[in-house]
């Protein structure tokens, strides 16, 4: 009979932690589970977070400048005063997130899933949204000026009231009077 040797493994996860003032700049965090956390004043600048799991987290004053978030799962997360300047979000899952007032102008958001996300007052000026999913999203007062997006994608949203459409017109809901 052979002897079995037990080798303990260390998992890279911060589950249920308060990660205030955390600097994760220039790190390779791809394929890591960083979910269920509170990130306050944290920075992930120039980090590789591709295919990582950051779901069910709260991000306040967090910096994702130049971060690779492609194919990452950020679902069910809340973002307040978060910087995404030049971040790569291709194919990311942002469903059921709170992204009010986020500026995604000039971003490549191809194939990003925004299903049921709160994108009230978000800016998508000149953004590439081809293949993006907005099913059930709140796009109230969102600005899609000059964005590359098919209107059929936007019309799957729950709320488009007072949004600026890609061609510059404001979308206003019309209530039809029911005749009895």
Q: What are 146-171's pLDDT values in tens digits?
A: 999 999 999 999 999 999 999 988 88
DSSP 38: E
Q: State the Cα–Cα distance between residues 68 and 46, nearest whole angstrom.
A: 7
What local confidence, expressed as pLDDT, does residue 134 receive? 98
Bridge partners of 38, per DSSP, are 18, 58
3-state helix, strand, coil in the chain (%, to 5): 0, 20, 75
Q: Which helix (H) or strand (E) holds 80?
A: strand 78-80
Residue pair 105/128 in contact (Cβ under 8 Å)? The answer is: no
Measured in Å, how far apart are the chain's first and last C-alpha atoms? 85
Q: State the Cα–Cα distance between residues 3 and 78, nearest whole angstrom.
A: 49
How long is the chain?
A: 180
Radius of gyration of the chain from Cα atoms? Answer: 19
What local confidence, expressed as pLDDT, does residue 178 receive? 41
Bridge partners of 135, per DSSP, are none
What local confidence, expressed as pLDDT, does residue 168 receive? 86
Q: pTM, whole model, 2 decimals?
A: 0.82
Q: Which helix (H) or strand (E) holds 79?
A: strand 78-80
Q: State the Cα–Cα distance between residues 46 and 162, nearest whole angstrom.
A: 35
Query: What is the per-residue DSSP string for 40-62?
Result: ES-B-TT-B-TT-B--S-EEES-
Q: What are the φ/ψ torsions at residue 154 (nearest 5 degrees)? A: -70, -35
Q: State the Cα–Cα distance between residues 29 and 126, nearest whole angstrom.
A: 29
Intervals of the chain under pLDDT 50? 1-16, 174-180
């Amino acid at each position: 009979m052979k002897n079995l040797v037990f080798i303990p493994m260390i998992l890279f996860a911060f589950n249920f932690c308060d990660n205030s003032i955390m600097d994760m700049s220039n790190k390779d965090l791809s394929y890591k589970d960083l979910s269920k956390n509170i990130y306050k004043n944290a920075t992930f600048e120039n980090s590789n977070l591709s295919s990582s799991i950051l779901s069910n987290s709260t991000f306040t004053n967090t910096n994702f400048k130049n971060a690779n978030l492609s194919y990452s799962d950020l679902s069910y997360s809340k973002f307040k005063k978060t910087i995404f300047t030049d971040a790569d979000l291709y194919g990311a899952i942002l469903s059921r997130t709170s992204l009010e007032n986020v500026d995604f102008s000039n971003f490549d958001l191809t194939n990003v899933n925004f299903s049921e996300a709160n994108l009230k007052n978000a800016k998508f000026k000149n953004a590439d949204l081809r293949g993006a999913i907005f099913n059930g999203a709140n796009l109230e007062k969102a600005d899609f000026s000059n964005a590359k997006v098919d209107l059929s994608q936007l019309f799957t949203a729950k709320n488009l009231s007072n949004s600026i459409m890609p061609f510059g017109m404001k979308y206003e809901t019309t209530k039809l009077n029911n005749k009895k």
